[in-house]
Amino acid sequence: MPTTLNPYLGFRDNARDAMTFYQTVFGGELALSTFGEFQASEDPAETDKIMHAMLTTPQGMVLMGADTPNSMDYTPGNTFSVSLSGDDEAELRGYWDKLAGDGGTVTVPMEQAPWGDIFGMCTDRYGVAWLVNVNSGQAAAGS
């Protein structure tokens, strides 16, 4: 099995909602495990918090996430983003529309970029920044 790199998103207490939302965006199978299932927290208030979530999409993408226990530091920031890229414009625009809509914020409109691809940036309603790029083939042709 080859090594893979998967985004793993941290939340304070809304991982279940966020990962369920991402399932509506990308489709696929969502597996959720709570701290209570594994007796992983001594704090009874954390029993139903998500210890690990994994969304595996029909396209083979994997997105993971978890709630951060109250005993650990949780400082949301803008030091990460998730990038989606490919050739299927309809598929990627579909993801874009769902991520940017319903409480999301567009930071760069999804349109033709100077490098020839269609590109946009948004922040979803959970504060996660997304970069979406539809490959035009121009960059590869110029190499």
**Where are the domains positioned within the chain?**
8-67, 82-142
H-only helix segments in 27-120: 89-100
> Is the CATH number of domain 8-67 3.90.480.20?
no
Question: Could you list the pLDDT tens digit for every one of the 143 residues in the chain?
Answer: 676 778 999 999 999 999 999 999 999 999 999 999 988 888 889 999 999 999 999 999 999 999 999 888 888 877 788 999 999 999 999 999 999 998 999 999 999 998 999 999 999 999 999 999 999 876 444 44
Hey, what CATH topology would domain 82-142 get? 2,3-Dihydroxybiphenyl 1,2-Dioxygenase; domain 1 (3.10.180)
* Residue that has been written with the tokens 């998103």 in this structure: 9
Residue 15 DSSP SS3? helix
For residues 131 and 113, the answer to whether their CB atoms sit within 8 Å is no
Helical packing angle, 15-26 and 89-100, nearest 10°: 150
CA–CA distance, 15 with 53 (Å, rounded to integer): 8
Beta strand ranges found along the chain (DSSP E):
8-11, 29-34, 50-56, 62-67, 82-86, 105-112, 118-123, 129-134
